[in-house]
Amino acid sequence: MTTPRHIAMRFAPQANADDWSWIVHSGLIQMPLDWEACLIVSALIMNRSILSLLVAAGVFGALSACGFTEDCQSMNFSTLAQANRMRIATNHDKTLRETTDQAEIAALVKFVSARTDSWCKPWAGVPVGLARAELYSDKKFLGAVSLGSNFAGAGAWRVRALEKAEREEFLRIFAVPDPYAK
C-alpha cells in the first residue's frame, strides 16, 4: 500500500516524511486521491504558474463546453417574399406601425435576403433588438427580423452584426424613430 510517507520518501528522500513543506516547492501533482488531494491543492495554490495554467484550462474547458465559438449558419428568407403585411413592434410587443405597402415589404425582404450569411448564436447569449418587423401572409405569420444597436436578429435566436450604414438602411425600412436614440 502506498502511504503519504512512502510518497514523500520516494520523491524527496532527504525530506522529513512528516514535514510536507517540500511538496509546496516540488511541483508534485500526482498523489493518491483521498485526503492527500488537499496537499495537491495547497501545492498548486502556492505555485502560481501552475495555478494560472489550471485556471486558464478550466475557463477554456467551461467555455468550450458551453459553445465557446459562435454557432453560425446561413439563413433562408425566401418565405418572407410571400408577405403582404408587415407589423413593426417594440420588443414588448407594442405596435409602432403596420403596413401593407408592397414596396416597403419588398425593401425589407431584399435587405435581409442580401445578408444570408453569418447569422450566429453567440455563446454569451443572444441580444434582443428593441424593434422588430413581423411579416405575415394575410393572418399567417411568416417570420420576423429585429433591429438592435449594431445587429439584426432573426430565426432561431440568430444575430448578425450590422455596419453603421446597414443599420441606418434597416432603420429607414422600419420607418420608426431609432429605439436606441438618447
Same domain (yes/no): 79, 135: yes
Type of residue numbered 104? E
Domain-located, residue 179: no
pLDDT (tens digit per residue) in 137-150: 999 999 999 999 99
Helix axes 102-113, 164-174, angle to 10 degrees: 160
DSSP state of 43: H
Q: Indicate whether 43 and 80 sit together in one domain.
A: no
How many domains does the chain contain in total?
2
Q: How far apart are CA 142 and CA 27, in angstroms?
A: 61
pLDDT tens digit string along 49-90?
665 665 665 555 544 444 444 578 888 899 999 999 999 999
Residue 51 shares a structural domain with residue 138: no
Tell me which residue range forms the domain holding 19. Answer: 4-65
CA 174 – CA 180 distance, rounded (Å): 14
Kindly state whether residue 17 falls inside one of the protein's structural domains.
yes
Q: Is residue 180 part of a domain?
A: no
